Amino acid sequence: MIMSWLVLIVSGVFEAVWATALGRSEGLHRLGPTAVFFVALLISMGGLAYAMRDLPTGTAYAIWVGIGATGTVLYGMATGAEAASLAKVVCIIAIIGGVIGLKLVA
C-alpha cells in the first residue's frame, strides 16, 4: 500500500511534466517538448493505473490531479510563465490541503 502512495505521488509530478511539455509543444509541432509530453504521459498514466490497484479510484485520481495541477502552476510561477498572486497561492494551499485531507481519510 505504501508503494502505491509513493507511485501515485511520482505520477502526479509526471502529470505536471506532461502538462508543461504539452503547453510548450505548440500543438505537438515541436519535437523535443512533444517527446517529453508522450514519455511523461505514459509514466504518469502507468503510475496512476498501478496505484489504483490498491487505492480507491476517486481518491487516487483526485490526489494525482491535485499534485499535477499544483506542480504545473508552481512551475509556471517559478519560471515567470505565469503571474504569481496572493489569490493563486491561497488556492494552491487549498488544493494541497485537500490532497492531504484525502490521504488522511483514505
Q: What confidence tens digit (pLDDT) does each residue in 27-69 have?
A: 999 999 999 999 999 999 999 999 999 999 999 999 999 999 9
- Does the pLDDT at position 106 exceed 80? no
| pLDDT given at position 14 | 98
Q: What are the domain boundaries of the chain?
A: 2-105
- Does the pLDDT at position 11 exceed 80? yes
Q: How far apart are the first and last CA of the chain?
A: 11
Angle of helix 86-105 versus helix 57-79 axis, rounded to 10:
150
Q: What angle do CA 40, 7, 54 make, to 5 degrees?
A: 125
Q: Cβ atoms within 10 A of the Cβ of 16, count?
A: 21
pTM of the prediction?
0.91
